[in-house]
Amino acid sequence: MVELMIAMVLGLLLGGTIITIFVENRRSFDRDETVMRMQDDARQAVRELVNDLSMAGFWADLVLPGAIVQDGSLAVATDCGPAATPNWIYQTVTPATDQSQALTTVDNAVGAAANASFSCVAAAEIAPGTDVIAVKRVAGARAAAPVSANTVYMRTNGTLGLLYREPEAIPAAVNIPAPFSEWEYRPSIYYVRNFAVVAGDGIPTLCRKVLQYGGVPTMTTECLAQGIEDLQIEFGLDTNGDGEPNTYLANPTLVQMQTAVTARVFVLARSADPDMRYTNGKTYQISNAPAYTPADSFYRRVYSVTVGLKNMASLRKLRS
């Protein structure tokens, strides 16, 4: 009987140990999976931002955005600029100036400020205190023939540019002598939305507004990565014309933006699900955003990268 009782106790101890190891391994696996998902979302967010920012102001064979003319065929069902600026999404420079609109931004935006600058972004969907950045450019490869109906293209021969919607209005706003090439127009406006799928779900998400083609072009929403809690961007300005950034500003004016040659991107990523056995007591300070101490059960990481604005830098050299 004694031996049986000893065997039972040892069996219980061994079984308890096995169960404990299994539970801890499961918790460790869940934690690692949560962190990896967060890292994957952050990489996706950074990858998309870097790709677009690095191509900001890319006008194919055309260097000067002021040489681009808007054709009368252009229309947009939902625009996305200031309310008093119709067809803003098609502007490559500020009218009556040579100020490129390749990059425009709202720093540490609240809903009203974001909506005032980018009317297609609803005030209620903005995550307060995050940056909003608009990028205007054409695709990285020329359009294959035949071009698609209702899509906006830039036609250029390297000297002149025509932004038009296929099929082209007749007569065109400007005749582009052959030989010329055509490039799809791809503007984007990046922002952090305060929900992922439905309003109120509490999952911050990096989204962007893009032109959707088919019928009359309209601005529509694409969401890229969940768990992106903050987006901050600083712009490196070349103030002396040597091609190198001399100072970084988080909130440059459009005039100052003409001298931007680099951009620092900061992304604060948060895990999609909380870990109730974990308390995040860290303080996060990125760019000029206020210090943030969440004191909750979500894992977080800050990711940063510096992007060269090659097309902006080339334009800067031409103007110097």
Per-residue pLDDT tens for 262-295?
999 999 999 988 988 889 999 999 999 999 999 9
Q: What is the pLDDT of residue 19?
A: 60
On whether the CB atoms of residues 211 and 152 are closer than 8 A, the answer is yes
pLDDT averages per 10-residue partition of the chain, 320 residues:
63 61 58 83 96 96 90 91 92 90 96 96 96 97 91 94 87 83 97 95 96 93 97 96 92 95 97 89 95 94 96 76
CA 145, distance to chain mean position in Å, is: 30
Note the pLDDT of residue 83.
Answer: 84
pTM of the model: 0.90
Q: What span, in angstroms and rounded, lies between the C-alpha atoms of 164 and 152?
A: 6
Question: What are the pLDDT digits (tens) for 207-220?
Answer: 999 999 988 999 99
* Cβ atoms 108, 131 nearer than 8 A: yes
The CA-atom distances, in angstroms, between 251 and each of 35, 260, 306 are 32, 12, 16
| pLDDT reported for residue 169 | 73
